[in-house]
Amino acid sequence: MRVIVLGAGFGGLELATRLSEEFGDGVDVVLVDQRDGFVFGFSKLDVMFGRTTDAAVHHPYRELAKAGVQFVQAKVTAIDPTTREVETDAGAFAGDVLVVALGADVHPEATPGLVEGGHEFYTEAGAFALRRVLADFEGGRVIIGVTSTPFKCPPAPSETALLMHDHLVRNGVRDTSRIHLVMPLPVPIPPSPEASRALLEAFAERGIDWHPNRRLSELDPAQRVAVLDDGSEMPYELVLAVPVHRAPAVVAEAGLTVDGWVPVNPLTLETSFPGVYAIGDVTSVGTPKAGVFSERQGAVAADRIADVIRGRAGSAEYDGRGMCYLEFGDREVARVEVTFVSGHPPTGTFVSPSEALAAEKVRFGSSRARRWFGREWSPGGPGG
């Protein structure tokens, strides 16, 4: 049984790890990613705000040493979901099972003026480059703005606003600065009213200006003015933007997408093509685009593929559950747990920020580094 896995993020790594644990050399897993290593999403903020270095958060794929798993660093150039054949710049691959876990691509160029007049922090390159920009920033008007929905890691803009507050305080320029958070949502985290209330209270305590139900639509770099989708304008010295997200072009060209994303059976993660699964941010499964949801989907897909290998009916089902840690600044972290079930409003719990949860977040990252890469690792940031 050959399983081709496109994308080595949370979902792809967990899926490959589970199949290796279950079958060892008895399964042939080809794990394809164009990057040379993995970076946790939360690590981008740690680097950006000077709490660690880019080298310290990089997990090289060459360290993957799992029985039955071959890593191929390559760019996917074509996908045939009917035959489960994939073209890459390192050659062609065909499998009995194909798993599409290529995530969502970001497009800062889709927002006029953003490339010339602002910064995106949703790619590793963008976030890492901001470390120097923020270190040299002398204060002023800061806009943290979302350009479209859906977008990955919904808490990240709020976390960035709170960490920006701490950063400006440390640098002695908070009194001469103003922080604006612009989001096309009514509250910071709609699935969790408790988390949203806590964030809004934190914004008020820190003097962060909250602009709900609005979207950053354009920048005028010459005038240093941001334009929102309601036509209002905001002058700025620094813009940190969440860019437009889209499914990778190669996925759309393969005919896998509907309304921009890959539809799947919400319980089994199967696409409409036999033997083809899709997991994580590339899908329209109905949960947030975040690593922990992708990881859980990868586990379910792995269990169902394992049942195929054994020749029995699949039983594992995706339950829509996910958990994420939420940076509140001042060395404190909160935890949000949410369950999404089709046809029902999401339910969940919120655990208030504390240093104990900051330490728990460190353990979370360390456990994944150990499981996926076989390495001991302590992330940067609070408790790290």
Backbone angles phi and psi of 167, in degrees to 5: -60, -45
Residue 282 and residue 165 share a domain: no
Pick from 26-40, 95-109, 164-178, 307-321: least confident: 307-321
Residue 215 and residue 160 share a domain: yes
- The mean pLDDT of 153-164, rounded to a whole number, is 97
- The mean pLDDT of 162-175, rounded to a whole number, is 97
Residue 45 and residue 18 share a domain: yes
pLDDT at residue 383 is higher than 80: no
Tell whether pTM > 0.85.
yes
pLDDT at residue 21 is higher than 60: yes
- The mean pLDDT of 322-344, rounded to a whole number, is 90
Residue 112 and residue 216 share a domain: yes
Peptide bond into 150 cis (omega under 30): yes
Q: For residue 215, what pLDDT band results from cuts at 50, 70 and 90?
A: very high
- Note down the domain range covering 268: 2-104+247-320
Confidence at residue 38, expressed as pLDDT on a 0 to 100 scale: 97
Which residues partner with 239 through β-bridges?
143
Does residue 296 fall inside a structural domain? yes
Does residue 297 fall inside a structural domain? yes
Please, what is the Cα angle at 313 between 312 and 318, to 5 degrees? Answer: 130
Name the domain boundary from 245, 262, 277.
245
Residue 290 and residue 221 share a domain: no
CA distance 345 to 43: 31
Does residue 77 fall inside a structural domain? yes
Do the Cβ atoms of 322 and 285 come closer than 8 Å? no
Confidence at residue 381, expressed as pLDDT on a 0 to 100 scale: 65
Domain total in the chain? 2
Confidence at residue 341, expressed as pLDDT on a 0 to 100 scale: 77
Q: What is the largest CA-CA distance in the chain?
A: 66
**CATH for 210:** 3.50.50.60
Confidence at residue 347, expressed as pLDDT on a 0 to 100 scale: 82
Structure tokens, 343: 């046809």
Comparing CA positions, the residue from 18, 19, 35 lying closest to residue 27 is: 19
pLDDT at residue 165 is higher than 80: yes
Confidence at residue 344, expressed as pLDDT on a 0 to 100 scale: 77
What are the tens digits of pLDDT across the range 290-324? 999 999 999 999 999 999 999 998 889 999 999 99
Residue 115 and residue 54 share a domain: no
CA distance 217 to 49: 25
CA torsion, ordered 298, 300, 304, 306, to nearest 10 deg: 60
